[in-house]
Amino acid sequence: MSSQVELREEWALRLAQQGEACGELGSDLYRRLLGLLAEEVRVGATTWDVLASAGDLRFGQAGPLRLLGAAHRLALSGQDQQWAALLPSCGGRVPADDGVLLVQWRALVERRHADLVEGMGREVQTNEVGRAAGLALAAAEARLGEARLIEIGSSGGLNLRLDRFEIDLAGVVLGHPESQVHIRPEMRAELGGLRHSGLALPTVTGRVGIDPFPVDPSSEDGRLTLRSYLWPDQVERFERVSAAIEVARQVPAELLTTGEDADTAEVLESVLDRGGSSIVMHSIVWQYIPTEMRWRITEAMERAGSRSTTTAPLVWIRYEPDEWDRRRAAVWMRQWPYGGDRLVAHVDFHGRWLEPV
């Protein structure tokens, strides 16, 4: 068993690495705060008591984001107005001085220790609506007249409504042009040629989300959960997800829970067995799925693909970290029965930019 010093060092590294990642993705608040907390944990300060209560969380369970998400939840719900006063998502202002920020965090931990410990037990559930641009481009390139959308790791299933968003790819608009959700990524290459002519999304015949801990965006608790894991100083992103939650309340989706009765591969296969054209998609979720389950999901897709026809095709869209450049993600699409596997675009992890290839 690791000593307390080794455990603290491991958590400190996780916090520091997550802080660097948040900074690269545009959250200066979380970059600063997580860096400060890394040093706090190394010396065993009060934050360590909260993290130690979580037990042995593996990397994919996003311990640092559980902690900050729990704090954000307290602010958004009105349970901690003092912390809310520091967060732009709550109308607050981030202190410029790191010392002030750390003092305020320590005070929060003292006030809300039990709530933060409880929050460490919650799975991180985010729906990054900005990724809908990359997913939609691939779905449009699949050239299907209609399809059922199936999302693995769907959380609240916001991106299952991507056809109800306005997705503007440098003048090529996919989805609903009058939507309250506007997505306009920076385009780092032009759409052009036969491959990108006449792009349109398929008519959606069904929306199915698959997740071990699905979130109902129509419930007050579900809305709070989805918003709490956003980064508080990214107000535009916060407002976009809030608008997408409103769309989700109006457009129903079926959310299926995986677990002891049926795992992800089994649930996926049962949905694919319903027949018809299907698009299976996932975004920044593959790394959180155990290796054995990845193989079983792949096998389920292969079996369904072997049964597909030209009138009931199958498409698999993967928006995941780029294997050749970990600073970005890539959108890959595999089609059955007539297609292969090809790269659609390089993309930002949160969908801020998109580069068709």
Look up residue 264 and give its amino acid: T
- Measure the CA–CA gap between 81 and 175, rounded to whole angstroms: 38
SS (H, E, C) the chain: CCCHHHHHHHHHHHHHHHHHHHHHCCCHHHHHHHHHHHHHHHCCCHHHHHHHCCCCCCHHHCHHHHHHHHHHHHHHCCCCHHHHCCCHHHCCCCCCCHHHHHHHHHHHHHHHHHHHHHHCCCCCCCCCHHHHHHHHHHHHHCCCCEEEEEEECCCCCHHHHHHHCEEEECCEEEECCCCCCEECCEECCCCCCHHHCCCCCCEEEEEEEEECCCCCCCCHHHHHHHHHCCCCCCHHHHHHHHHHHHHHHHCCCEEEECCCCCCHHHHHHHHHCCCCCEEEEEECCHHHCCHHHHHHHHHHHHHHHHHCCCCCCEEEEEEEECCCCCCCEEEEEEEECCCCEEEEEEECCCCCEEEEC
Same domain, residue pair 90 and 217:
no
pLDDT cut 70: percent of the chain above it: 97
Task: Supply the pLDDT for residue 170.
Answer: 93
Residue 30 pLDDT grade (very low, low, confident, very high; cuts 50, 70, 90) = very high
End residue of a domain, out of 119, 148, 166: 119
pLDDT of the residue at 1: 44
pLDDT-based confidence at residue 60 (cuts at 50, 70, 90) = low
Local confidence band at 262 (pLDDT 50, 70, 90 cut-offs): confident
Q: What is the pTM of this model?
A: 0.91
Quick one: 136 and 98 in the same domain? Answer: no
Q: Which of 58-62, 66-70, 91-95, 113-117 has the lowest mean pLDDT?
A: 58-62
Reported as a single tens digit per residue, the pLDDT across 185-207 is 999 999 987 678 899 999 999 99
Please state the domain count of the chain: 2
In this structure, the answer to whether residues 196 and 286 fall within a common structural domain is yes
Q: Is the pLDDT of residue 62 over 90?
A: no
Please say if the pLDDT value at position 59 is more than 60: no
Per-residue pLDDT band for 287 (boundaries 50, 70, 90) equals: confident
- Residue identified by tokens 């069904």 is 206
Q: What pLDDT score was predicted for residue 130?
A: 96
Q: What is the mean pLDDT of the chain?
A: 94
Residue 131 has pLDDT above 50, yes or no: yes
Q: Determine the angle formed by the axes of helices 220-228 and 235-250, rounding to 10 degrees.
A: 150
Name the nearest CA neighbour of 175 among 154, 193, 149, 152. 149
Average pLDDT score over residue span 205-216: 96
Q: Does 217 share its domain with 84? A: no
In this prediction, residue 2 carries a pLDDT of: 56
- Residue 205: predicted pLDDT: 98
124 in a structural domain: no
Asked if 243 and 351 sit in the same domain, the reply is yes
| pLDDT tens per residue, range 315-339 | 999 999 999 998 899 999 999 998 7
Region 55-79: mean pLDDT is 87
Examine the fold and report which residue of 97, 119, 141 is the final residue of a domain before the chain moves on. Answer: 119
Confidence of residue 58 (pLDDT cuts 50, 70, 90): low
Q: What is the mean pLDDT of residues 254-280?
A: 95
Domain assignment of residue 87, given as a range = 4-119
Establish if 318 belongs to a structural domain: yes
